[in-house]
Amino acid sequence: MKQVLELPEAPETLRQLVLSQAREIRQLKAQYEHLQEQIRLLLHQRFGAHSEKYRAEQADLFNEAEVYAEDGDSGVEPLPTEPLSPCEPAAIDSSPATTPVKRGRKALPPALPRVDIVHDLPADQRYCAEGHALKVIGEVISEQLDIIPAQVQVLRHIRKKYACPCCSSEVKTAPLPAQPIPKSNASPGLLAYLVTSKFLDALPLYRQSQMLQRIGVDIARGTLAVWMIRCGELIQPLINLLQEPLRQYDIQQMDETTVQVLKEAGKTAQSKSYLWVQRGGPPGQPVIVFTYAPSRGQHVADALLADYRGYLQTDGYAGYAPVCAKNGLRQVGCFAHARRKFDEALKAQGPKGQAKAGKASKGLIYIQKLYRIEQLIKDLAPEERYQRRQQQAMPLLDDIRAWLDTSLPQVPPTSLTGKALSYLDNHWDKLIRYCEDGRLDIDNNATERAIRPFVIGRHNWLFSDTVQGAKASANLYSLIETAKLNGLEPYRYLHHVFKELPKAQSLEDIEQLLPWQVDKEQINQGWAKKVDGV
């Protein structure tokens, strides 16, 4: 039997009940919309494209009724026909329209050695139809790229021994040159190959062990792991020297990512540890340094930035704010993170929602306009970049601020669009600070690109076994990424470091091995015909 709801007879009591039910319905509808957004976003992340590209013609930005009232004569420039993505900016073609576009296969690098294979006509075909002998008038050359699988060799260090023929009181033996791992059969070349394979090409050690077995060399994975730790310890003096330009230059970027360490005191194997990444250094001496830490706590950032003064560009992680306040750092925000939140809000609306213009799409296009400016001025000198930002970016930022102030009260704060607007509002002062100095970037993407090799590798090797191994990995990633940033080929640079660093007798010897001190031409080209110890 149905239960009949008894309504109060008093009009005021009835009115309060209706208002209460209306509030509850609004809350349930808001919760429903929020959950629907989350479902659509998760479905897109699972099955949709991962690109953050967005084209203005996908939606009519000015289709909202309130937009006309908001903008009026605000001076917002017409939308670009092809807005740029901050993560994947389009190339700007400055060549004349009449310049033909070169197509076809790229030429093979001229520095590669050539092996000539001559093809000639058989002797009986070197005559014309009338019987006259043909003459060579030229040749047609086509090139193919060939590759020789890894060649393994054994370096035999033969040390001459001397003794006196008249007495047996003294025997002398030629000394063995200092080795990267003493009493080991690993040469600098092998170690450089193993390190770049793991930390640059993301090949786990167990796969490398299997690859070596296929060519007849049996080296256990545990042995390879010990070698990696020893290599990380060997380059510690270089890592210490990399810290100096990082601290001395007044612009630095930071980020952090997770790493799992199985054997860590006081923590379970499933718990998270972190690699902190710092990117900075003056022009001509760019530096990237990875540092292992067991947590993401503020005290880690405090220790890493203890002696640093200047600009610090980060994402929105709150742990940096107290450090910046304590040390007087000027924190710079990341517009790529702000854009990503609008992108997620747009994707959460689903295909039908994306077809309609909305605040998420307008926020995206506003930010893409900022990136359009950055794309056009990226090759200018810092002072010129500063001037162009003041002339072009600052008026656009004023328009975004006015739109943001109008939009915030109109959007539920719990929705993804509301969260994107709130992020933009809460970090506004930090986000626009890049306009203060032409050397600053609009986002922290350069640091995220430095992290990417580690993240790719983490998908393959999954975890570090010990804290010692995690610290060694941080050192090796630091040296490889800094070498890349200074235009060095990582394998050849590491081969040079592993060969020369054990011989270093002074601080000056170690400084000569820094990425900006070595002879790039010698490192990148002159290594091929040399063997260890020669």
Helices 335-348 and 359-377, axial angle in degrees (round to 10) = 150
Is pLDDT at 103 greater than 90 in this prediction?
Answer: no
Nearest to 311 by CA among 250, 254, 255: 250
Distance, CA of 53 to CA of 36 (rounded, Å)? 23
Higher pLDDT, 354 or 478: 478
What pLDDT, on the 0 to 100 scale, is given for residue 109? 86
- For the beta sheet containing 287-293, the strands, ordered from the edge strand earlier in sequence to the opposite edge, are 287-293, 273-280, 251-259, 311-313, 330-332
Q: Output the pLDDT for position 3.
A: 59
Residues near 403 by beta carbon (within 8 Å), at least 6 away in sequence: 70, 71, 362, 366
**Pairwise CA distance, residues 61 & 418, whole Å:** 18
- Whole-number pLDDT of residue 266: 84
Global pTM value: 0.77
Other CB atoms closer than 10 Å to residue 421's CB: what's the count? 27
Question: Of the candidates 373, 380, 349, 377, which has an alpha carbon nearest to the alpha carbon of residue 362?
Answer: 349
pLDDT at 99: 56
Q: How far apart are CA 296 and CA 272, in angstroms?
A: 9
Q: In this model, does residue 249 exceed pLDDT 70?
A: yes
- The answer to whether the beta carbons of residues 62 and 421 sit under 8 Å apart is no
pLDDT tens by residue, 51-84: 555 554 444 433 333 333 344 433 334 444 444 4
Q: What is the CA radius of gyration of the chain?
A: 32
* Mean pLDDT computed over every residue of the chain: 84
Residue 527 has pLDDT above 50, yes or no: no
Give the model confidence (pLDDT) of 417-428 as tens digits.
Answer: 999 999 999 999
List, in order, residues 6 or more apart from 359 with CB less than 8 Å away.
64, 407, 410, 411, 417, 421
Give the pLDDT band of residue 365 (cuts 50, 70, 90). very high
User: Quick one: pLDDT at residue 529?
Assistant: 47
**pLDDT digit string, tens, across residues 117-149:** 999 999 999 999 888 999 999 999 989 888 887
Q: Rounded mean pLDDT of 289-293?
A: 95
* % of residues, the chain, pLDDT over 90: 55
Q: For residues 498-504, give the mean pLDDT.
A: 95
Of residues 380 and 348, more confidence is placed in 380
User: How confident is the model over 161-212, as pLDDT tens digits?
Assistant: 988 888 877 888 999 889 999 989 999 999 999 999 999 999 999 999 999 9
How far is the C-alpha of 474 from the C-alpha of 454, rounded, in Å? 9
Which whole number is the average pLDDT over 405-413? 91
Element (H, E) at 511: helix 507-511
**Which pLDDT belongs to residue 424?**
94
Confidence (pLDDT) at 22: 84
